[in-house]
């Protein structure tokens, strides 16, 4: 008998007596998932060890069989970790590969492990535990990036820079305020992952194929052993559910979108036209032909990751949208895209954390840019309202006339003379120039959540308390 026939025979044995002939090569190729679901080996073995302990505790199998099974599973885990385990496509998936090897190691007791469970609840468990682990990793990665941003914000709470709308200079803001904007975004990302984790933290094991089991299992025991808050409450939903993966992908997509926005700013800011920041050599590359180039490749690649992650989300939504209850083989297509999205998100978070930690702001350039483009025009309008009691719409019109005058003279608003200003409105006084400097402008924005340095520092204190 050839090796391939031997593998097919073993696969048939695992399936049971229903099938007389082995799968042909095409069916084996489309049916097998071991090429990717072997990433869940640790979760599969952890779940099986908990299941064996529960079967013994409830008297379904003997304590001796359970002990032999659990030791055999540890041997298999050691073989996998050491790279000595031979994965077989003929055995389809991680569950059958592990069970087959367990039989080789311990013989008959291996056949008792699958009592009171199905591959349907087994894969639901493995995948949920894997996604839960990745959710924890994402939470840690987001927190690390937030802390790096807080360091930047604290250093630059007083540094002025232009704030933009439509990528046009709008009003002066502080560097710290800009960094804190991304802290807020990531704070929402953090809460989304934390919230999703609470919902996914129910144990599927024991739902069996779809209807539960007639064996006297203790689902609360396995749930507690595996770190879940409790067991799921409906066996049909349990085997059909992939919401936990969809929520992970949705939270990952929004987080990646935030990273992409910041990456875009870093690309713009590090250009020769802006020179707002300098990226470290660790996160830049050179050109093969232009020796002067320092390319923000890490930022550009982060910017691109959203496409893969969002694509994974759309892909899984498309798989799940038309499936009747409960399990369908379509759901085998749930994992590869989640694995890829998780890898992409963690890499993007780590790279962005490194870039932010190494980022150098060119404060002189930022301050000059903050004063350009008539950025204190709104401060002038506010002064006219506050000091002269004008309606804001009148103040807006007067300010627009002064901007037009400055533009025609080729200067900025602070460079207009008092006579220039009084030619538009005679009640304007010398005190107006106090609000036209960029530092005065940012210092005046003292409303809660505003760009004033004192407000920025209050938000830094708040977020440091949240994270620590």
Catalytic residues: 166, 287
Structure tokens at 73: 């599973």
Between CA 348 and CA 353, with CA 352 as vertex, the angle to 5 degrees is 115
Fill in the DSSP letter of residue 159.
-
Q: Alpha-carbon distance 56 to 63, whole Å?
A: 5
SS3 166: coil
Between CA 68 and CA 346, with CA 123 as vertex, the angle to 5 degrees is 110
Structure tokens at 116: 């009171």
How many CA within 13 A on the CB side of residue 291?
A: 0
Q: What spatial distance separates the first Cα and last Cα of the chain, rounded to whole Å?
A: 63
DSSP string of 335-346, one letter each residue: HHHHHHHHHHHH
- Cα distances (angstroms) measured from residue 387 to each of 113, 155, 376, 378, 393: 82, 34, 16, 14, 15
Q: Alpha-carbon distance 437 to 431, whole Å?
A: 12
Q: Alpha-carbon distance 13 to 214, whole Å?
A: 24
DSSP string of 380-440, one letter each residue: HHHHHHHHH---HHHHHHHHHHHHHHHHHHT--GGGS-HHHHHTT-TT--GGGGGGSSHHH
How many CA within 13 A on the CB side of residue 138?
A: 34
Place of tokens 């690390």: 144
Dihedrals phi, psi of 372, to nearest 5 degrees: -90, 170
Structure tokens at 50: 């908990």
Q: Alpha-carbon distance 172 to 295, whole Å?
A: 28
Classify residue 184 by burial, with Cβ atoms within 10 Å: 0-12, 13-18, 19+.
middle
- Cα distances (angstroms) measured from residue 442 to each of 41, 120, 462: 55, 59, 20
């Amino acid at each position: 008998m050839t090796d391939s026939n031997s593998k097919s025979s073993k696969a048939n044995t695992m399936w049971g007596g229903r099938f007389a002939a082995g799968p042909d090569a095409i069916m084996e190729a489309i049916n097998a998932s071991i090429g990717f679901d072997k990433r869940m080996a640790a979760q599969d073995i952890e779940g099986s060890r908990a299941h064996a302990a529960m079967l013994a505790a409830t008297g379904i199998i003997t304590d001796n069989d359970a002990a032999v099974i659990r030791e055999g599973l540890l041997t298999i885990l050691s073989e996998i970790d050491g790279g000595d385990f031979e994965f077989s496509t003929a055995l389809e998936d991680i569950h059958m590969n592990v069970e087959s090897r367990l039989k080789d190691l311990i013989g008959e007791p291996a056949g008792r492990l699958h009592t009171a469970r199905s591959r349907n609840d087994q894969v639901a468990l493995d995948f949920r535990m894997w996604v839960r682990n990745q959710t924890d990793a994402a939470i840690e990665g987001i927190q690390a990036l937030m802390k790096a941003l807080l360091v930047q914000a604290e250093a630059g709470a007083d540094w002025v820079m232009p704030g933009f709308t439509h990528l046009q200079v709008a009003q002066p803001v502080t560097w710290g305020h800009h960094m804190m904007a991304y802290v807020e975004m990531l704070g929402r990302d953090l809460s989304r992952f934390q919230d999703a984790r609470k919902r996914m933290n129910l144990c599927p094991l024991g739902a069996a194929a779809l209807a539960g089991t007639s064996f006297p299992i203790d689902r609360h025991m396995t749930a507690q052993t595996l770190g879940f808050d409790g067991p799921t409450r409906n066996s049909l939903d349990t085997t059909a559910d992939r919401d936990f993966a969809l929520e992970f992908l949705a939270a990952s997509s929004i987080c990646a979108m935030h990273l992409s926005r910041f990456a875009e700013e870093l690309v713009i800011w590090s250009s020769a036209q802006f020179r707002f920041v300098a990226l470290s050599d660790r996160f830049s590359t050179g050109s093969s032909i232009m020796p002067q180039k320092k390319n923000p490749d890490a930022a550009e690649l982060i910017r691109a990751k959203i496409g893969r992650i969002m694509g994974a989300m759309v892909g899984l939504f498309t798989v799940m949208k038309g499936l009747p209850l409960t399990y369908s083989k379509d759901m085998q297509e749930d994992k590869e895209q989640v694995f890829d999205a998780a890898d992409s998100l963690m890499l993007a978070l780590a790279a962005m954390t490194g870039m932010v930690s190494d980022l150098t702001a060119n404060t002189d350039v930022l301050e000059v840019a903050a004063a350009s483009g008539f950025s204190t025009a709104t401060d002038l309008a506010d002064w006219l309202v506050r000091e002269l009691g004008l309606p804001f719409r009148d103040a807006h019109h007067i300010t627009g006339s002064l901007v037009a005058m400055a533009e025609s003279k080729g200067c900025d608003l602070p460079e207009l003379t008092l006579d220039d200003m009084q030619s538009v409105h005679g009640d304007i006084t010398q005190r107006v120039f106090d609000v036209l400097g960029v530092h005065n402008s940012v210092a005046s924005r003292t409303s809660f959540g505003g760009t004033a340095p004192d407000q920025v520092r209050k938000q830094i204190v708040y977020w440091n308390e949240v994270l620590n």
